[in-house]
Structure 1
Amino acid sequence: MEEKERIISGSRTFRIWSAFPAKCYGQYLLTIVLLTICEASWAADLLQAPRFTMQPSSSDSIVSEGRTKILQCQAIGYPKPKYQWLKDGIALGEFSSEHFYRIHTTRREDAGSYQCVAQNDVGSIFSEKIAISVAYMGTFESATERQVSVKSGQVAILDLPAIESHPAPLVTWFMDGQTQLYDRKYAMTTDNQLVILDASESDQKAYRAQAVNPHVGREEYSSYVRLTVTGEAPTEIAPEIVVKPTDMQTVKEAGVDLHCIANARPLHELEMRWLKDGILIENSGISYTFKDAWNRTLSLVSANLTHTGQYTCQVRLRSGGFPTVTANATVTVLEKPSFVSSTRPETLGEYGALVTLPCEAVGVPSPNIMWFRNTEKVESISRDRYSVIEDGSLMIKKLRMEDSGMFQCLAANEAGEESVYTWLKVKTAVPVMEIPPQNATVLDGKDATITCRAAGAPTPNITWIYQNNKSVEASGRVQVLESGDLLIAAVKEADAGHYTCIRANEAGQVHASAYLTVLVRTQIIQPPVDTRVLLGHTATLQCKVSSDPSVPYDIAWFHNNEMLSTTNSHRVFIQSDGTLEIQAVRAADVGDYTCAVISPGGNETRSARLSVIELPFPPLSVHAVRLESPSQRAVNVTWTPNFDGNSPILKFIVQRREVSDLGPITDPLPNWVTDLSNVSAEQRWVLLTSLKAATSYQFRVSAINSVGEGSQSESSNVVTLPQEVGFVGSARSPSEIITQWQPPLEEHRNGQILGYVIRYRLYGYIESPWTSRNITNE
């Protein structure tokens, strides 16, 4: 036996025996996985599409409530088909090898339309539908005897009491409970009403109905209806049609009944004839029969399209004397859809080509056409490539491998539905490179996608080769996409090089290559940081850049989004390494500074804030208020904080000084005393106590931040504390007042007390001058 050897990637040897069929030679590409191509080809040759040999059937489409129902269908194909049953289009379970479906203990809600789906590796098709109904029967809803009254000669209509039954029961009316009614006088409508014609005294009897449902083996009797006939009728009554024929539809090969019930007197002289399209029924050339001796029910047997037309019920008295009366009804014969031509079981299509699947159907009315691929509506698969043309054919553009499968055309109208199916096979084709790889230059850290789009049948597999000798394996950063493209996430310098993609299938292969160049990203590696600097000092903001040596870049600085110009500035400079230097910083220099790097290797911006800190400004609105209670000798000092110098205030210092009667002393240094040196930064007032009585004060406040103590505020208003003297007086007579007082405290005397001065005036006379008297201390 001859053997052949192939060396792949210079590392492994594979022996492929010539025992393989000749059509497999030349298909051993890169990996031994492709040796299974031949096996797959043989398996494909054995595939057979599913095909129904038995449509859903059952012994009876009507099943009694509570009984067991078994539905069956059968299909052939290779592999052996599996089955799934649907009820009203909804799946009843998963696919299984069982070709039957069992309904245990049938309930009324089990009624519906059933069909099965057959599926194998080729695809899936659905069967015809079978309607299952559940038979049941209740009792008559009313058991009360009823009375009906009618005038002599007129028509009496007795309604059948309501009864729950499916299918509709077979109804027979009895008179006096025994006699079955069959005579010219009696007729029954399609609603099972009893019609008594030409009512007379002899018809005054009791009537009741028997309802039989043979599917459940049950019969029920209604309550009695008693008929009363009143008055005297004339000898003759003009013919009148009391139940007119109604428009009907029927399906070809089925039958349909037209009913026409008329009244007259004498009843035996009543004659009824039928016409079709104005021609006596016996001369119309259609097949028909009458179901009673009085021609009341015209039955069209095995209806065909010639039975479509207008039917006229014509009633008259043979003895004459009255005009003939008529009633019309239209019968429409529907025809179930059928296909004009047979459909091939298999259809071959070239990959990428246009294929048309025929489906020309006729019927009355014209059927609607729906297409399915593997039992799924084609509209939900692809509206762009799938379209149904005017004659019902399905047009598929740019055929793909995934289009292979079972295509089923369903033609439906009011008379029914019919379907045909074909297995669409897409022929294999040598891969064609549609979008080859392109040379690409990518910044490091960015994602790179190298395209490799190819068309073929079946869809070509994909292999990527790096630097002509290394297979590219999918890993965390490297992925081969479903389209065949190679995605390299966050590329590195080591990813640069020569990439080759190979697209191959059982019909052949195609390859293409491209180079990937990786540029080192231009980026800021030492960005500026938020900086605080003292007023008048020098501020520096760094901006160090890393880049590819071959890629130029520019650095620009922005202050509050406005570009900084250093051309004519003696304070602002940009160093060679990108550092921004601001000398003798001012308050106007405060703000956001942005370093912007612009380069073919990438753009980047980083920002920081510059804060210029200084001593806090003096507090504002320093105000002092004496408390009303003289015993406290206290003053409340308030203020408003000023600018904090861009550094949070840490605390406040409150100072005071005494003011003589001559006013404040000009030199502030010797006479200002610090009262409180650690007032909270959150506080806006302070209460000073234990001050001297009969003394005037001024206050001032300063703020402290991280830089130091700021300037003192403006002095507050002057506050004078009153003299603390216990003074009382009382009248001794209409012309004398005695006064008493306590001398001031020792610490408030300021020397030896030599005497006192008493001032007095009449109460209420504020304009009068004070009268004084000196009192010595003797």
Structure 2
Amino acid sequence: MKVPPRIGDSPTTIRSLVGDNIVLPCEAVGVPIPVVMWSRGGEKYPAQDERFEQLQQGSLSIRNAKEGDSGKYLCIAVSEAGSESKTLWLEVNDPPRITNYLPSELVQPLNSFLMIPCEAEGSPRPNVEWFKGSTPVKQFQNGYTITTDGSLIISSLQPGDNGVYTCRVSNQWGNDSQSTSVDTQVRPHIVGENTEREAETTTAMQGDTIRLECNVTDAHPPATISWYMDDRLITNPENAGLEVDFGGRLLTIPFIQNQDMAHYYCIASNSVGDTQKHFRVNVQEGPIINSLAWEEVTVMAGQDVSFDCNVRGTPLPRISWHFDDIPLASTNQRYNFHLDGSIDLRRVEVIDTGFYTCLAKNRAGTANRTIVLTVEVPPSINPSKDHFALPEGTDVILPCEADGVPIPEVTWEKDGIPLDMEGAQYQQLFLGSLRISPVQAVDAGEYVCTARNEAGEASKTVTLRVHIPPSVVPTIPRMTTARVNEDVILTCPITDARADLTAGRETTIT
């Protein structure tokens, strides 16, 4: 008895994964035993592919399944008793996988364009998602764009874009992911960065301490800071009397001096680039006068005199001269002002005696120097009477009024011998004249007064004659006896031969 072929019940849809070994069931029974044949798309199977093998019971074995093996397969069982067919659907699914390689780190400069690829394969086509850390990256937000092939685009990298980015692909058969770290490199930025022409000016007083700041921000990788002084790299700050602190961010110049006045600049650099900040350091020095602060000068009237005022300082001090606190006018032709600060006085007079002050000023301070000028005048004796004839017993003043600067000292001599002023007879008056009281016969003679000071001396001769009144010598007897007709000589001696005899004394003759 013949029995028509019958194919056993089995699923009509077979699902598997790429790489699996698959068996498409088609076990047929019948009398006689049917012959089982396979076809796909009108072509007989197994084809010339070693992966396909028809089993003894009729099922079709597929080793290492591929996505291309998916499709409709027709199983036909044929015998003399008839035939039966069965259609099976094979789905060879491919779990998602990312086909491109992502490095562990992507280092890019600031503001650059970055595309992170995420090329995925899988069946069905996998869904692509991006995450920054654990936060999903959304299309067109925060500057992100996800292309149709799954790549992530960051149009202009910023430091805030740094982080770990993960591409995750998935379908119902699985998922795959790759991660990479985005490191945005930033050229160093210095607060207040500038050019040499725009250098920041710092002015300090000599002896002050100043600090130049090179505050670097946004540098990634971290910047290296170098300092320069007039284009020379400062390699050993200590040897130059400088201090560098906080990784180069601060340059300290302690106890600043004139030689520290220079062009300083810092350079902050990393692998992306560098930037600079320039400083112009000015050192101000208060005026210093390289002369005695107090000096006394003495000159003769009519001479010229010069006063120096050699000043240094930064900025260059302005010099002015004052006489007894009154500014000297450059229009006065008796004064000659020089560029080096000195001054000439022409043909000085007594009225020029006083205090001359050189006043030096700049923004850093003031200094002064004072010269005490004394103008000396040699002594002179005022013209006056130089011959005197007086009777004994009277008073006389021999004139000798002397002028000069300083006030002259007056001394007297008589007949070449200095007068002794300690007695009561001689008195030297304030201006130098000599008072003799009373005049005696011994006072007659030549008197010389001499006026002296530091500038010289002068003298004057005064002649004094003393008249003595006649007197009779008291030796004459009061009575003389003589004979009649005898000559008698009566003597009358007097003390001054120049006296008038009529002034003799009375004598009686008997």
Q: TM-score, normalised by structure 2?
A: 0.37
Q: Which has the larger radius of gyration?
A: 2
Bigger relative contact order, structure 1 or 2 (CA pairs below 8 A, ≥6 apart): 2
What TM-score, normalized by structure 1, do the two folds share? Answer: 0.25
